Amino acid sequence: MHVNLFIPCFVDQLYPQTAFNMIKVLKKAGCTVHYNTEQTCCGQPAYNAGYWDECRSVAEKFVRDFGGNEYIVAPSGSCTGFVRNYYGKVLENDGHKNEMHHQQLPVYEFTEFLTAVLNVEDIGATFKASAVYHDACGALRECGIKDAPRKLLQHVKGLQLIEAPDCEVCCGFGGTFAVKFEPISIAMGEQKVLNAIEMGAEYIISTDLSCLLHLDGYIRKHKLALKTIHIADVLSATCQ
Amino acid sequence: MHEQEKIFQEESRIKATDLEHRRKINYSLTQSDIAFQKGKNVFSDLESARKRAKNIKWETIEHLNKYLLEFEKKFTERGGKVIWAENPQQALDAVLQICKQKQAKSVVKSKSMVTEEIHLNPFLSRHGIEVVETDLGEYIQQLSGEAPYHMVAPSMHKSREEVARLFHDKLNAPPGLAPEELTLFTRQILRQKYVDADIGITGVNFLLADIGAVAVTENEGNARLCTSFPKTHIAITGIEKILPSVNDLALFWPLLATHGSGQQVTVYNTIFSGARKENETDGPEDMYVILLDNGRTNILADVTARESLFCIRCGACLNVCPVFKNIGGHTYNATYGGPIGSVITPYLSGLKSYKHLSYASSLCGACTQVCPVHINLHELLLYNRNKSVKAHCGSRSEKIGWLLWKKACLNRAMMNITNGRIKNFMIKLLFRKSWGDNRSLPDFAPKTFNELWEATGQ
């Protein structure tokens, strides 16, 4: 299977290692990968801030960079959900609408791609730890991803996966929300973190690094005994 | 920053860090969730029910003029009186005029958010008319001099101990009464009020066009008492509360009950079709329905925002909203809190003053997921943000910021300039303050994925 990598802007800038780990897993699952070095961002940050014209220019570039029939795979449910569910609206007044075929972009979140397209559930990973899984809002509600990451994690040797009652509650990041309404964002993140610790977790695992960067920021600042880790990093681990 | 936003920022900081508040609200909303999860099983196919409800509301709101006129015609044919109010003042004047005409000294009220919207209680008090809230939660709020905290559960933020203390302080009730005792105590006071009152005022859950009647949903029987003893009944409602037919209640009553309180159906559901007729033994001598616009036609005029008029005020979006959970109902400083409030308040009370509410959301989408009439709440928040940008409500620096962002995103080379260290320095400079003291900033990698990919020659 040939895969076109979509590495979201903040993953590109902050977490390149996770992107490489995703590639490792995809290759292990039998994929060949392609990466268009011109790619930047899907445009979601501007859209969420209300700057739809600015978003449109960037979305048009995305469609140019990713046009074609290859599967596009990203380590983010949020960015995947945005391209999948909002591009129709973002580009609806665009003269190039018809030639761009934006609605047909076959974009998949990483765990969704592994389970739904490749039919892989056991990638042969080993990760000795206890962890809660956090359903990132973009993955859960925009993409409808609930079972895929759990199925993959259940096959990870040594991993004790704890189902947290608040797994579907937002972490409080929300992009500009995190800085515009910092106290609310912190209160939401704090509860997520404290609940995970109370559940006996050593790690919070998620499909989305945007949630994790916010939670990790809280954890590091308060020097708590908890870590965050992206699911690609878990699935690429062979021993710990 | 607008005055309203300042208030919101200050209040939200206080509430979000108040651990006792967090404990009480989390407890209360967890109970709501348990009830809802159980209650919704009454639907064999909830998703279809929600879609059907949305379609009915869509049809109704698209032809709002037709259905409102049909309601008016049917209701007045039986002797009821319909009053159209464009704004709160017209509604208040109409109520006052009726009070004067009936020489009313006292009014009993059942729960109504629209009367909160027009600030009816202080208005009537200023005119020397006693108003008594008869829903227990609203009665508690009236005693404390507070607005309702939640549109369905007005005093959910008060513990039983706090309520007992309030009753002791304000009503000289014996100290430390249990909830059941408090209810009995209140009942004794209110029973006399019903008998003495000249006018009963209720809200409206659904206006029924085909039979020209008003449906009221409640759990305490207080709305029935408000409309049984007093000689005059005034029902006040927003114009969007209309349904085409009484038959639609078969869908909307259980939807409202499950999403509002987890009940299969609420305890008392009453259809008021007018005043007492000659051969009837009870009921008021006069019945009025006040149809209030107050900005709803602003929403109607906006094709995208229009679906927010489908709302049946069940409060489910508040119950699942993590922002509401952390800041509570009063912080919004608006009649309607939570996601639906953040969507509609800018249209009812001004975009400039209330645009910040549309930004005060992490866009998690839990509200959209639960809404019984399928309002795309989080997308409407996004839509409001865009409206606010188009209306030039954003700051200059923000505008420049997004222009620079666009430039960087249109040119890959710009995203690879400098290195992680300099980027870390820049991001600290820009965000240290707004990121706050409770989180560490993330660290940029020394090199981007893009650079590493190129370097490894993959």
Are B326 and A11 an interchain contact pair (Cβ–Cβ within 8 Å)? no
Q: What is the CATH number of the domain that holds B370?
A: 1.10.1060
Residue B146 DSSP SS3: coil
Q: How many residue pairs from chains A and B have C-beta atoms closer than 8 A?
A: 176
- Is A32 within 8 Å of chain B by CB? no
Same domain, B182 and B218: yes
Q: Is B223 left (phi over 0), alpha (psi -120 to 50) or beta?
A: alpha
Are A43 and B409 an interchain contact pair (Cβ–Cβ within 8 Å)? yes
Cα B444 to Cα B455: distance, rounded to the nearest angstrom: 18
Are A50 and B386 an interchain contact pair (Cβ–Cβ within 8 Å)? yes
The reply to whether A240 falls in a domain is no
Same domain, B38 and B77: no
Same domain, B352 and B445: no
Pairing of strands B199-202, B130-133: unpaired
Same domain, A107 and A73: yes
Q: How far is CA B20 from CA A104, A195, B430, in A?
A: 50, 17, 34
Same domain, A110 and A128: no
Closest in A43, A141, A183 to B17, CB measured: A183
Are B434 and A190 an interchain contact pair (Cβ–Cβ within 8 Å)? no
Residue B449 DSSP SS3: helix
**CA nearest neighbour of B74 among B311, B244, B285, B264:** B244
Closest in B361, B415, B444 to A40, CB measured: B415
Are B362 and A185 an interchain contact pair (Cβ–Cβ within 8 Å)? yes
- Residues of chain B contacting A137 with CB distance shorter than 8 Å: 362-366
The reported pLDDT for the residue numbered A103 is: 57
Cα A72 to Cα A4: distance, rounded to the nearest angstrom: 5
Q: What is the CATH number of the domain that holds A201?
A: 3.40.50.11810
Same domain, A40 and A77: yes
Q: Looking at this predicted complex, what is its ipTM?
A: 0.96
- Residues of chain B contacting A12 with CB distance shorter than 8 Å: 415, 448-450
| Residue B440 DSSP code | P
Q: What percent of chain A has pLDDT over 70?
A: 95
Are A50 and B454 an interchain contact pair (Cβ–Cβ within 8 Å)? no
The reply to whether B159 falls in a domain is yes
Same domain, A15 and A92: yes
pLDDT digits (tens, 9 = 90+) for A102-118: 557 999 999 999 999 99
Same domain, B150 and B71: yes
**CA nearest neighbour of B60 among B300, B237, B367:** B300
Closest in A50, A170, A179 to B364, CB measured: A170
Pairing of strands B106-109, B206-208: unpaired
- Is A142 within 8 Å of chain B by CB? yes
- Residues of chain B contacting A93 with CB distance shorter than 8 Å: none
Q: How far is CA A132 from CA A127, A138, A202, B25, B280, in A?
A: 13, 18, 8, 24, 64
Domain end point (choices B394, B426, B447) = B394
> B261 is in which domain, residue-wise?
49-294
- Could you tell me which residues come within 8 angstroms of residue B433 by beta carbon, excluding any fewer than 6 positions away? none
Cα A209 to Cα A203: distance, rounded to the nearest angstrom: 13
Q: Which regions of B273-317 does DSSP assign to beta strands (E)?
A: 286-292
Are B368 and A37 an interchain contact pair (Cβ–Cβ within 8 Å)? no
Residues within 8 A of B (CB atoms), A 67-106 only: none
Q: Running along chain B, 458 residues long, what does each successive block of 10 average in pLDDT?
A: 94 97 96 96 97 98 98 96 98 98 97 98 98 98 97 96 97 95 96 97 98 98 96 98 98 98 96 92 93 98 97 98 98 97 97 96 98 98 97 91 96 92 91 92 96 87
Burial (CB < 10 A; 0-12, 13-18, 19+), residue B396, is exposed
What's the number of domains chain B is made of? 3
Q: How far is CA B273 from CA B77, B202, B216, B220, in A?
A: 11, 14, 11, 21
Q: At what angle do helices A77-90 and A52-66 cross, to 10 degrees?
A: 110
- Residues of chain A contacting B363 with CB distance shorter than 8 Å: 48, 137, 174-175, 177
What's the number of domains chain A is made of? 2
Confidence band, pLDDT 50/70/90 cuts, at residue A162: very high
The reply to whether A167 falls in a domain is yes
Closest in A137, A186, A218 to B365, CB measured: A137
Burial code (b: 16+ CB inside 10 Å, e: under 16) for B291-316 equals bbbbbbebbbebeebbbbbbbbbbbb
Same domain, B245 and B195: yes
Are B362 and A188 an interchain contact pair (Cβ–Cβ within 8 Å)? yes
- Could you tell me which residues come within 8 angstroms of residue A141 by beta carbon, excluding any fewer than 6 positions away? A81, B364, B365, B366, B368, B369
Are A184 and B385 an interchain contact pair (Cβ–Cβ within 8 Å)? no
List, as one string, the DSSP characters of A113-134: IIIIIS-------EEEEEEEEE
Same domain, B268 and B339: no
Lookup: tokens for B364:
């998690």
Average pLDDT over residues A86-101: 70
Are B452 and A16 an interchain contact pair (Cβ–Cβ within 8 Å)? yes
Q: Are B127 and B96 spatial neighbours (Cβ–Cβ below 8 Å)?
A: yes
Stronger pLDDT, A68 or A8, i.e. the higher one: A8
- Residues of chain A contacting B454 with CB distance shorter than 8 Å: 37
Same domain, B271 and B416: no
Q: Are B194 and B108 spatial neighbours (Cβ–Cβ below 8 Å)?
A: yes
Closest in A46, A142, A214 to B406, CB measured: A46
Q: What is the CATH number of the domain that holds B66?
A: 3.40.50.10420
- Residues of chain A contacting B368 with CB distance shorter than 8 Å: 141
- Is A194 within 8 Å of chain B by CB? no
> A20 is in which domain, residue-wise?
2-116
Q: Are B168 and B199 spatial neighbours (Cβ–Cβ below 8 Å)?
A: no
- Is A181 within 8 Å of chain B by CB? yes
Are B402 and A57 an interchain contact pair (Cβ–Cβ within 8 Å)? no
Same domain, A109 and A7: yes
- Residues of chain B contacting A143 with CB distance shorter than 8 Å: none
Closest in A37, A179, A221 to B412, CB measured: A37
Same domain, B123 and B220: yes
Residue of B7, B12, B364 to mutate, testing the A interface (most A Cβ within 10 Å of its Cβ):
B364
Same domain, B135 and B258: yes
Same domain, B390 and B408: no
Are A176 and B409 an interchain contact pair (Cβ–Cβ within 8 Å)? no
Q: Are B351 and B393 spatial neighbours (Cβ–Cβ below 8 Å)?
A: yes
The reply to whether A190 falls in a domain is yes
Are B359 and A213 an interchain contact pair (Cβ–Cβ within 8 Å)? no
Residue B10 DSSP SS3: helix
Lookup: tokens for A160:
């004790």
How many CA atoms lie less than 13 Å away from A239 in the CB half-sphere? 0
Cα A77 to Cα B393: distance, rounded to the nearest angstrom: 31
Are A181 and B364 an interchain contact pair (Cβ–Cβ within 8 Å)? no
Domain end point (choices A87, A116, A145) = A116
Q: Are A138 and B363 spatial neighbours (Cβ–Cβ below 8 Å)?
A: no
Are B410 and A13 an interchain contact pair (Cβ–Cβ within 8 Å)? no
Cα B405 to Cα B415: distance, rounded to the nearest angstrom: 10
Measured at the CA of B399, the angle between CA B394 and CA B401, to 5 degrees, comes to: 130
C-alpha distance across the termini of chain B, in Å: 49
The alpha-carbon radius of gyration of chain A (Å, integer) is: 18
Are A38 and B412 an interchain contact pair (Cβ–Cβ within 8 Å)? yes
Cα B313 to Cα B330: distance, rounded to the nearest angstrom: 17
